[in-house]
Structure 1
Amino acid sequence: MFCVWLGAIALIPVFPAMAQTPSGEQAALVSPSEWQSLWSGANRAALRQALADRARHGLDHLTFLPRDIDDQPAAEAAEAYTKAAMRYADALAQGLVDPSSLHDVYTIARPMPVQAGALRDALRQNRLAQWLDGLAPADPEYRMLSQAYLEANRQTGVPTPGLALAQSIHVGDVHPQVAEIADQLADDGYLTVRPSAAPADLYTQDIADAVKALQRDYGIRADGIVGPDTLGVLTLRPGDRARTLAVALERRRWLSRTPPATRIDVNSAAAELQYYRDGQLIDRRKVIVGEPDRETPPLGSPIYRLVANPTWTVPKSIPVSRATVRAKAMHRINGYWVQPSGPDNALGLVKFDMKNDQAIYLHDTAAPELFGRSQRHLSHGCVRVSDALGFAAMLADQEGVGDTWAKAQASGTYEIVDLPREIPVRLLYHNAFVADDGTVAFRTDPYGWNDAVAVQLGFADAKSRQAKAEAIDIGP
């Protein structure tokens, strides 16, 4: 397996002020005269009230109903109400934006689209408000993100100290945003210890050093001075957090409401893995994911076997020097360089084979020191797992093949251990989420994937900076 994914996000032109219009095929299943009779005054009022509350879902930058709708002829007004209701229902049920239109590859399971018959039934029963309210995710994380969005919206309208370039924050400055900057740097792993004696609004050298590390990772001049570009990466400009949260809500609506109870979720934005067993989160660990321009793709793909002591076939897209060939004891097979099994192998000592046609999988690494980095978007697309051997042993034990796996791993040779059942894996991208302490946490947008979603949600294009990965190794 090669482990190189060359897909990219596709930017498409949109008109941000108006929600996208779906096909009218479903609505046509109900006759125009019936739609006209169903849109009573009460049902029209219910839809208007539901749309007035759309900020709970981060959809308040979009217009669903024309302002003059009730001045139109009855038949045209009924058609407009139907289209608006279907657009809004679809946005709640499976997201306004189709993620497959943004990515060359998107295979994560999505909810089913709304059927026109369901809208018709809700109108007949005068239950439009209840029906719409039941379409969006109802889990605690979605509710917390929703509340955070409403609060961020309120704060966006409150005047805050601006930061023109001439007013940038330097070491020794006192500024009300310093505490927020430090919190974000700590969340992203750049700031480990902050002197407890320092005032919360004092910009210290420790914070400046953390800012320099962030700036290096994002291609900003590494001077430790906080200006507009640095604030943009930290999503701390006015309106940035509301925009990020609106995208986070949309990404949650793309997901199935009933994910597999046993699964592995990799959050590529945060470079973290979560393992759920029978509906309970039982393990989480750091991962290294694809660098910008070689992003880890949004896939839903199960692990079906473990490979002990894997070899690695280097893709032709990755240049290999003569020195590397000698140092890694590589040899050619069918025109490809192949690295033999062993602790120095780029895949480490275990590979978690996944069923997909993108050559994407989880694996160990010969460079575990990279897990100590704050910015872990360093691979060629695959996912390197911290303590992968321990993770493999845990999966094998729980799936009843622990002894077989232990023998295969101890053999020192390439061996395959099939899992009795596949373990679903979702490669997600969430840079706003609920952290362990129950608060909403933010990460940077290393791939710059939020912009295309935000624009279709009615936000201005912020043209986010992507992370700038260093060429550290040739591993997958």
Structure 2
Amino acid sequence: MLLAGCSISVAPDNQTTSANTGAPAAAAHWTKETRAQLRQAIDARAAHGLDQMAFASNAGDEAGVTQQALAYAAALARGATDPTKLYEVYTVPRPNPDLRAGLANALRANDVKGWLASLAPADQNYTRLSKAYLALRQQPGTPTPAIPVHGEAIKPGAVDPRVATIARELVVLDYLDQRSAQGDRYTPTMAKAVQQMQADYGMKPDGVIGSAVLAILNMSDTDRARAIAIAMERLRWLERTPPATRIDVNLAAARLTYWRDGKIADSRKVVVGEPDRETPQLGSPIFRLVANPTWTIPRSIEGETAAKGAAYLKANNIARKDGWLVQQPGPKNSLGLVKFDMLNDQAIYLHDTPAKQLFAMIQRQRSHGCVRVDDALGFAEILAHDEGVTDQWHQARATGKETFVKLPKQIPVRMLYQTVLFDDAGEPIVRNDPYGWDDRVGAALGFKAGKALRVETRASDEGP
């Protein structure tokens, strides 16, 4: 039986096609050897965190084997799940290789193994995740927590053998500095960190480490393996060669990374949408800088602002214009002094904010959906310089009025969600899942529900 698409001319990377201008290619058949290669590749799928999914490779006829091969290839090349079906909004660019043509070439070259190996991400982070996942899966299948839950609650000042492990977990979650994670004494510095975490998770911030605090800090190897498998899946969703100049925003960690010509040029904190008003996963470019922006308050939150009364509106320079509440430029404007205009249907953009105190918080999922940038004026200065519009930008700011500065080239922005980061040694560390978005990916990959690490935040102002 012939493989569909076998007469298509395929580029050297086996992932793109071109017009067939020559004689028809030779028929592509499955052989005993190529079937064995497929079987071996599927048997080794744990390297990609896909061992909870069934990719049966024992069908007898060629059509069945072909479909199995294409299903596994698609999981490696684009992800075993479809983020556009898992989430209401997902517009981050995705890979789209011609898998039928690639398989046809692989069969003719008798190298299905090599072709499948070329489909998954080849970057260092994916490799690290794969190694960590395999190591965790080799551990005894036990959900035993790292921190024993027996014993009395730990109060500030107490000495307890569990404190050292608790301190390490607080470091992972960014509540404690590494230098303060020493010894078995529950220090005032640690207590302050625990109180901040308790507040973020909706608990009474008394600093006492009881069962509720340990439930947040405790993560079994099973939970870590699940999170790492999900992280690999999210990487498979992404195009293999992203734009060399771009801005990536990790919504889970609330951090922004600016890439310029393939190198990290800047990284800073951001504030993103709070739970239930999540910032969507978008692929959307910045096309202009806006100096001294006005803010037209969206209908969805207009009521919150109007309810504060006329005195509040006047004090914050907000008035009704053409049926909308509009805040004029100035230091109290909720967009701050600069807005980074983006092209998308969700009215999501980056901007400054007068609420600078939010950047000092650990859990920064506290906006109504847009992304607030720490030292946004400094970041705008960097972009203006790199794009050659510094003079125009300075002139626009000097007007004191809303003024637009178009960028010569649009800068792609990717709003991503990644709950696994890497420490200084390159080891993966599992962070919290503030939106609960790991659950739907994990379930689609065949994992049982994991331990939820959920923050409880409410927006502290009316800003976007």
Q: Normalising by the residue count of structure 1, what TM-score does the alignment of the two structures yield?
A: 0.85
Q: Secondary structure at the match of 1:338?
A: strand
Counterparts in 2 of 1:118-133, with a 5 A limit? 118-133=102-117
Q: Secondary structure at the match of 2:138?
A: helix
**1:403 and 2:391 aligned:** yes
Q: 1:133 & 1:300 partners in 2: Cα distance?
A: 27
Q: CA shift at 1:48, angstroms?
A: 1.7
**1:103 and 2:87 aligned:** yes
Query: Residue 59 of structure 1 is aligned with which of 47, 50, 57?
Result: 50
Q: Secondary structure at the match of 1:317?
A: helix
Q: 2:296 & 2:347 partners in 1: Cα distance?
A: 11
Query: Does the 8 Å contact 1:99/1:106 carry over to 2?
Result: yes
2:265 match: 282
Q: Secondary structure at the match of 1:239?
A: helix
**1:241 and 2:224 aligned:** yes
**1:458 and 2:441 aligned:** no
Q: 1:179 & 1:473 partners in 2: Cα distance?
A: 37
Q: 1:168 & 1:459 partners in 2: Cα distance?
A: 33
1:315 match: 298
Query: Residue 185 of structure 1 is aligned with which of 170, 173, 176?
Result: 170
Counterparts in 2 of 1:47-446, with a 5 A limit? 47-65=38-56, 69=58, 74-75=60-61, 78-155=62-139, 157=141, 160=144, 167=151, 170-171=154-155, 172=158, 174-175=160-161, 178-192=163-177, 195=180, 198-199=182-183, 201-226=184-209, 230-231=213-214, 233-234=216-217, 236-318=219-301, 319-320=304-305, 321-322=308-309, 323-446=311-434
2:397 maps to a residue whose letter is Q
- Taking structure 1 as reference, are residues 205 and 297 closer, same or farther at Cα in structure 2, changes over 3 Å only? same
Q: CA shift at 1:121, angstroms?
A: 2.3
Q: Secondary structure at the match of 1:261?
A: coil
1:135 maps to a residue whose letter is L
Q: CA shift at 1:150, angstroms?
A: 1.6
Give the RMSD, CA atoms, in angstroms: 2.7
- Taking structure 1 as reference, are residues 226 and 117 closer, same or farther at Cα in structure 2, changes over 3 Å only? farther
Q: CA shift at 1:405, angstroms?
A: 0.3
- Taking structure 1 as reference, are residues 312 and 130 closer, same or farther at Cα in structure 2, changes over 3 Å only? same
Query: Does the 8 Å contact 2:320/2:326 carry over to 1?
Result: yes
Q: 2:97 & 2:206 partners in 1: Cα distance?
A: 49
1:48 maps to a residue whose letter is R
Q: 2:135 & 2:387 partners in 1: Cα distance?
A: 44
Q: 1:418 & 1:296 partners in 2: Cα distance?
A: 24
Q: CA shift at 1:226, angstroms?
A: 4.7
Q: 2:208 & 2:445 partners in 1: Cα distance?
A: 32
- Taking structure 1 as reference, are residues 443 and 117 closer, same or farther at Cα in structure 2, changes over 3 Å only? same
CA offsets 1:114-159 (integer angstroms, 9 cap, x no match): 4223213212322011000000000111111111212222346368
Identity over aligned residues, as a percent? 51
Q: 2:256 & 2:143 partners in 1: Cα distance?
A: 38
Q: CA shift at 1:162, angstroms?
A: 6.8
Q: Secondary structure at the match of 2:50?
A: coil
**1:39 and 2:30 aligned:** yes
Q: Secondary structure at the match of 2:256?
A: strand
CA offsets 1:293-340 (integer angstroms, 9 cap, x no match): 111110010000000000111112211111431320210012221111
Query: Does the 8 Å contact 2:78/2:95 carry over to 1?
Result: yes
Q: 2:218 & 2:236 partners in 1: Cα distance?
A: 22
Q: CA shift at 1:204, angstroms?
A: 4.2
Q: Which runs of 5+ in 1 are unaligned?
A: 1-25
Q: 2:241 & 2:39 partners in 1: Cα distance?
A: 30
Q: 2:143 & 2:377 partners in 1: Cα distance?
A: 51
Q: 1:397 & 1:220 partners in 2: Cα distance?
A: 45
Query: Does the 8 Å contact 1:194/1:206 carry over to 2?
Result: no
CA offsets 1:245-297 (integer angstroms, 9 cap, x no match): 00000000000001000001011110100001110101000100110011111
Q: Secondary structure at the match of 2:404?
A: strand
Query: Does the 8 Å contact 1:273/1:286 carry over to 2?
Result: yes
Q: 2:107 & 2:212 partners in 1: Cα distance?
A: 49
- Taking structure 1 as reference, are residues 380 and 108 closer, same or farther at Cα in structure 2, changes over 3 Å only? same
Q: Which runs of 5+ in 2 are unaligned?
A: 8-26
Q: 2:100 & 2:218 partners in 1: Cα distance?
A: 39
Query: Does the 8 Å contact 1:275/1:281 carry over to 2?
Result: yes
Aligned residues: 439
Q: Secondary structure at the match of 2:325?
A: strand
Q: 1:40 & 1:193 partners in 2: Cα distance?
A: 56
Query: Does the 8 Å contact 1:169/1:175 carry over to 2?
Result: no
Could you list the structure 1 runs, at least 4 aligned residues long, displaced by more than 6 angstroms after superposition.
none
Query: Does the 8 Å contact 2:146/2:219 carry over to 1?
Result: no
Query: Does the 8 Å contact 1:309/1:415 carry over to 2?
Result: yes
Query: Does the 8 Å contact 2:288/2:404 carry over to 1?
Result: yes
Q: 1:283 & 1:122 partners in 2: Cα distance?
A: 41
Q: 2:107 & 2:339 partners in 1: Cα distance?
A: 53
Query: Does the 8 Å contact 2:245/2:261 carry over to 1?
Result: yes
Q: 1:141 & 1:429 partners in 2: Cα distance?
A: 15
